[in-house]
Amino acid sequence: MSQESKSNKLEDHPLMDESKPFRRLLTNWFSENAKDYPWRSTSNPYEILVSEIMLQQTQVVTVLDRGFYRRWLEVFPDFKQLADAEESEVLRMWEGLGYYSRARNLHRLAKIVVYELENHFPKDVEQIEALPGIGKYTAGAIASFAFDSPVPAVDANIARVLARLFDFQERIDTSVGQKQIWEWAADLVPSSGGRIWNSALMELGQTLCGPRKTFCNECPIAESCRCVEPLGLPIKKLKQGVTNIDEHVILNIRNGKVLLEQETGNRRKGMWKLPTRDKKEVTKLDLITTQNYGITRYKVKMHIYKSKNAQLNENEKWVSLDDLALLPVPSPYRRALELITKV
């Protein structure tokens, strides 16, 4: 079918024909195939909020299989427990998930809910979006999953499904593309509630309508899909290539203490790490080991040198090896310390 003969008007799409059971086909498929995630068995806004914040930049398998979600709820079971915690404790519990601004925003949000909103989490999607660290998707997800509000929640999975359903031949990462996808999503949400519908669309994108593999012959709404070449959609700007970076840090241990530096940048503010040095400062030091780790689009090679210099730079202090487990330390440095010091 030619591009000119197609229409992107929602009323022309088969999904909007109430005489055809497309919504029921999708939700029935979901009821039979839904993954058993713990946040799907609760309507507690706090538990759903925690899951959504963790999943913003982290895969489900990491959040669940490595126990981050379970441990977090054991230590901070509600807004009050989180609000009253020290930031260092919050960051320590977040360690291993990365993108630590998420933890700080979650901490700030809990304080607002407890001490400004009298422990009442808002139900209105716009009020939810006004909270720290909450964007349009997360607000919609919480409103629909916790309160069954008939609002859209467009994550990468739903955006991909909708782009293929409508054979959308424009970039979805532009303001125009985003607007169109959100309009479709909003119009498709049943007035009876968004919890099951949004979950079903996400599940479809996670399983049968993936970014690199599709199972169109198993899709419950395949007959309504206009896409001819699903792996060509959605259209997005090409990602930037990986940038290689060399990082030079020192390991300085004396009298049962290790020298650490507290991060001041936005990404890992408040976390503790091995002190960074310029390359020229470590040329005469013995190299202990090198370790690789990734962060966003950067591939970092961390060179660790043995140092005996007792001089402290700004934001550095001596920390007892026995206290290391209590401090928030980014995973690459934690692994290095455990390997080298056998902490």
- Report which DSSP code applies to 221: T
HSE-CB at 2 with a 13 A cutoff on CA atoms is: 2
One-letter identity of residue 156: A
Inter-residue long-range contacts of 310-318, CB under 8 Å, 24+ positions, other chains counted:
310/252, 310/254, 312/259, 313/261, 313/275, 315/261, 315/262, 315/263, 315/264, 316/259, 316/260, 316/261, 316/262, 316/275, 317/259, 317/260, 317/262, 318/254, 318/257, 318/258, 318/259, 318/260
Structure tokens at 5: 């003969």
Task: Find the catalytic residue in 11, 18, 52, 74.
Answer: 52
Q: Which region holds residue 162: left if phi is over 0, alpha if psi is between -120 and 50, else beta?
A: alpha
Q: What's the start-to-end Cα distance of the chain, in Å?
A: 64
User: In the annotation, is 52 catalytic?
Assistant: yes
Q: What type of residue is 214?
A: T
Residues with active-site annotation: 52
